[in-house]
Amino acid sequence: MQPPALDLATYLEDLRRQIDATLERALDRRQTPRLIKEAMRYALLGGGKRLRPCLTLASAEAVAATAAVDPHVAHLLALPSACAVEFVHAYSLVHDDLPAMDDDALRRGRPTTHVVFGDGIAILAGDGLLTEAFAVLAESPSPAAPPGAPEAPPASRLRAVAALAAAAGAAGMVGGQAIDLAAAGRVRADQASGAALDANALEDMHARKTGALIRAAATMGAMAVGADERRLAAVDAYARELGLAFQIIDDILDVEGSHEQLGKSAGKDVAAGKLTYPALYGLDGSRRLAADGIARAKVALDRAGLGGRLGEIADWSLGRTR
C-alpha cells in the first residue's frame, strides 16, 4: 500500500528529522571530553538546510526504488553516510570561518564556533568532526545507526570512505579552499597569486571547494544501497550539475539577498572583490546557466531510470531564496 505523496517541503522536513537524530546519536560518545563535545555539537547543530545528507538519503531512496527496496530500509542503510557527509560539511565551515581563513564572525545568524570557544578549540572541533566522519562510516555497528539497523557490506563502506576522503581531501575541498585563500591574497605574499580567478579557475575552485562534497553526498547514498556503475555515474552527473547550480544561486543571492535571508553578511563577496557568477555573466546570464545545469541534471536521472525526489530537489534549488 503506497502512502499518499508528500509535498517536497514535508518530505525534506522528515529527512531532516532523521538526520538530526542521527547526528545527535553519533555525537553522543561516552569517551569524548566535555569541552570538545560541546564545541562539536555547537558547530553541528546550529540549523542549516542539511542539503548534503538529504541528498544522500534521497539518492539511496531513488536507487533502492529501482530494485523495489523499501525507502525506509534505504534510509537506514544510508544514514551513516549522510551523517559522515554532514560532519565533514560542518568541519569545513568551522575551519573556513577561522580568523586565519575567511575570518567570519557570523554563520546561520549565530556567532561562529571560534567566537564562542576560541580558535584552538574550534580547530580541534573541526579536526574531531572530520575524523569522526570516518569512524561513523567504518565502525560496526555505526554510532550513527539506530540499534538493529541493517548495514551496507564492508566493501561498499570502504568505497564510501574512499569517496568521502577524495572529496574532502587535498585535491577536493581542502585544495579548493587553498586556491580560494591564495586568490584572496590571504596567504603569505610570496605564495599568493593575488590575481583574480578567470571563469575556468572559478569553476575549478567551486568544483573542489563545494562541488566535490555534494557529489560525494549523492553517490555515497547510491553506494549504500548497492547501485551499479551506470546508476552511480548518473547520480554523480546529477549532483555535479546540482552543485554548480547551487553555487550560482548562492552568488545571485549574495548580490540580491539581505542579511536576514542569508544569515550572513550579504554583498560580502562583492565587497571582498571575489569573482562571482553574476560578475562574469550578469544576473540573467547566471540564472540561465543555473537553469541549464538543472535541466541536464534531470536528463541524467531520466536516462538511468531514476525517479524519486531527486528531480524535485533540483527544481527547488533553482527557486530557493536562501
Interface residues with its own copies (CB under 8 A) are 29, 31-33, 35-37, 40, 95, 98, 100-101, 117-121, 123-124, 126-128, 130-132, 134-135, 137-140, 154-155, 157-159, 161-162, 164-166, 168-171, 174-175, 177-179, 181-182, 186-188, 191
CA distances to 10, 20, 77, 233, 311 from 229, in Å: 31, 30, 18, 6, 20
Contact at 8 Å (CB) between 86 and 144? no
Measured from the CB atom, is 58 or 82 closer to its own copies? 82
Q: What are the E-state strand segments in the chain? A: 106-107, 110-111
Report in angstroms how near the CB of residue 77 gets to its own copies at its nearest: 16
Q: In angstroms, what is the minimal distance from the CB of 210 to its own copies?
A: 15
**185 or 273, CB closer to its own copies?**
185
Q: Please, what is the minimum distance in Å from the beta carbon of residue 44 to its own copies?
A: 12
Choose between 187 and 255: whose C-beta lies nearer to its own copies. 187
The packing angle between helices 229-256 and 199-206, to 10°, is 120
> Coil, strand or helix: which one is 322?
coil
- Taking the least distance from each CB to its own copies, the nearer of 78 and 168 is 168
Closest approach, Cβ 85 to its own copies, in A, equals 13
Q: What is the smallest separation between the CB atom of 19 and its own copies, expressed in angstroms?
A: 20
Minimum distance from residue 31 beta carbon to its own copies (Å): 4
Which lies closer to its own copies via its Cβ, residue 98 or residue 253? 98
**Residues with Cβ < 8 Å from 270, sequence gap 6 or more?**
254, 255, 276, 279
Q: Smallest distance, Å, CB 80 to its own copies?
A: 12
Instruction: Name the DSSP letter for residue 142.
Output: -
| Cα–Cα distances in angstroms (integers) from residue 224 to residues 59, 71, 77, 179, 303, in the given order | 10, 13, 6, 32, 21
Based on DSSP, count helices (H) and strands (E) in the chain, helices before strands: 15, 2
Residue with cell 580547530: 123
Residue 132 CB partners (closer than 8 Å, separation 6+): 26, 40, 87
**Which of the 8 DSSP states describes residue 29?**
-
Cβ proximity to its own copies, 40 vs 64, nearer residue: 40
Measured from the CB atom, is 109 or 154 closer to its own copies?
154
